[in-house]
Structure 1
Amino acid sequence: MPMFKTNSDRFDPYKTYKFLIKFEPGGDVVAGVSKCSALKRTTEVVKHREGGDPSTSRKSPGQTEFDGITLERGVTHDKQFQNWVSKVWNFGAGRGAEVSLKDFRRNLIIELMNEAGQVVLSYNLYRCWPSEFTALPDLDASTSAVAIQTLKIELEGWELDEGHPEPKEPKLDFAE
C-alpha cells in the first residue's frame, strides 16, 4: 500500500521541456525562457569527534547553501532581464542611484507541467537577484544559431509549493 496518494494512471516521470518561470508579486511570466538550470542545495558536513572515541568521527549538518540558477532565452526586444539587471547596478545612473536597494530582489516561481499543460510541481524561489547577465552571445556570421541571452540568478532559498496536488490527467474519448 503506497504511503502517499498518487495518480494511478500515470507511470511515466515528468519531462523537462514544459515549464514556466514567473515573477512575484503578480505572477508575470518571464517571456521566452527556453532553459533553466537545476535547483540545487548543499548542506555542509561538520565532522567532530568525541575525546573518548579515537577511531571514528561523527557527522552533523552545518550551513546550507542554495546554488544560483541560470535562465536562457532568445534575444528579443523584451527588456525584462535588462531592467532587472539595471536595478542591481545601473551604469551611468549617477552617484547614489546606481543600485535600487528597495526592489532589486524578487521572488520567482518555477512551474513544471505535464504533457497536457497542467501544473504538476511548483517551486518558490526566495530573495533572488541577477548576478551575471550576457546580453548578446558570441556572434558568428558562419552559423545560423539563435542569439541567446543568459541570466544567472542568486537566491537565498527555495521550497516546493505543496498547494499543487497531482492533477487528474485528461482522457480523450473518440466516438466511433
Structure 2
Amino acid sequence: MPIPERDSAVGHSFGLEFDGITIKSITEVSGLKIEQDVIDLKQNTADGKFEVKRLPGRPKPGEVTLTRGLTSDQSFSNWVKASQFGKMKDARKGGSIIIYDFEGAEIKRYRLVNAWPKSLEIGSLKAGDTSLLTEKLSVTYERIEVA
C-alpha cells in the first residue's frame, strides 16, 4: 500500500538485503545519508562584480550502522570475517536497506553500492541482566541510491 501523499511514513521495521538474503529483524538504522561535495566557483560577472556560485560535486561515500537483537544467525559475523581476511571480492557487496510499514509491505528501499562491513559490535554483556543483547554492524559504502 503506497503512502498517501500528505502522510509521513512510520518505520515499523527495517530489513537488510544482500545476495538474495533478507534479514528483517533490524531494530535500528542510523547514519543513512546521501551527501555530495560542494564546489565553490569564484568569478567576476560581466559588470566586474565578484560572485561565488555553488555547484554540486562528487558524491561522498558513507557509513551506516544497523542494530538487531543477537540471534544464532551468522550473516553479520560471516560478512565481517570475509573483510577481515582481505577477501574483498566476497566482502564488497551491493544490497539494500528496506523500510517496511506495519503490515510488512515495503515503503522505501535504499541501495548501497560496493558496501562492506567496517565493524561488528556486540552489546554489553552483564551477568544477570535481562536486557536484550544486540549486534551493531557498521557498513561503509561508496554510493547510496534511492530505489
Q: Any conservation in 2 of the 1:31–1:78 contact (CA below 8 Å)?
A: no
In structure 1, distance between residues paired with 2:136 and 2:75: 12
Deviations, residues 55-102 of structure 1 (Å, cap 9, x unaligned):
43121122221321101111222111111000011xxxxxxxx32132
Q: 1-side partners of 2:44 and 2:3: how far apart? A: 53
The alignment status of 1:118 with 2:105, answered yes or no, reads: yes
Contact persistence 2:16–2:97 (CA under 8 A) = yes
Instruction: Write out aligned runs for 1:1-176 (5 A).
Output: 11-24=6-19, 27-30=20-23, 32-51=25-44, 53-89=48-84, 98-134=85-121, 136-141=122-127, 143-161=129-147
Identity %: 24
CA distance in 2 between partners of 1:132 and 1:51 (Å) = 48
Paired with 1:109 and 1:125, the residues of 2 have a C-alpha distance of 6
Which structure carries more strand by proportion?
2
Structure scoring higher RCO (CA < 8 A, sep ≥ 6) equals 2
The separation in 2 between residues aligned to 1:34 and 1:160, in whole angstroms, is: 20
Residue identity opposite 1:151 in structure 2: L
Bigger share in helix: 2
Q: Which runs of 5+ in 2 are unaligned?
A: none
Greater Rg over alpha carbons, structure: 1
Q: Is the 8 A contact 2:12 2:101 kept in 1?
A: no
CA distance in 1, matches of 2:34, 2:61: 4
Matched residue type, 1:101: M
- Count matched residues: 145
Q: Residues 101 and 114 from structure 1, CA distance in 2 versus in 1: closer, same or farther, beyond 3 angstroms?
A: closer
Structure 1: where are the runs of 5+ without partners?
A: 1-6, 90-97, 162-176
Q: CA RMSD in A?
A: 2.5
* Cα distance change of structure 1 residues 101 and 127 upon mapping to structure 2, 3 Å threshold: same
